[in-house]
Amino acid sequence: MLSTLLLISSGAALGAGLRWGLGLWLNPLFAMFSFGTLIANYFGCFIIGLLLALFWHFPQISNEWKLFLVTGFLGSLTTFSSFSAEVMENLLNGKWMMGLGVIAAHLFGSLLFTWFDVLFMRACLD
């Protein structure tokens, strides 16, 4: 139990560090739009697509790796709490179009990245 918690926590620390770094790097470039969060969500969805395809193709991948990568790393990288806060900030400040734009960009972009990478990895592995 403790080793599982350490695996998840280690992955989460890496994912949170990457999310923070992306925000520091990208958010100042686009003052009206939280680009760091968007890229974190896109990247996380791209990686989850890759991992889903790998897990399907290689069922022998250990549960520990799945917990480290998906629950830990991607769980902290792509949490939608930051997304929700950014949308609400726009909506509460009367910036309806910006809020809806953030929703659309995150939702459709994340789904597209996941779909693309599942197809890509399946093609590479077959």
Binding-site positions for Na(+) read 75, 78
- Binding site residue list: 75, 78
Closest by CA position to 50, among listed 115, 5, 102:
115
Q: Are 88 and 16 in contact (CB under 8 A)?
A: no
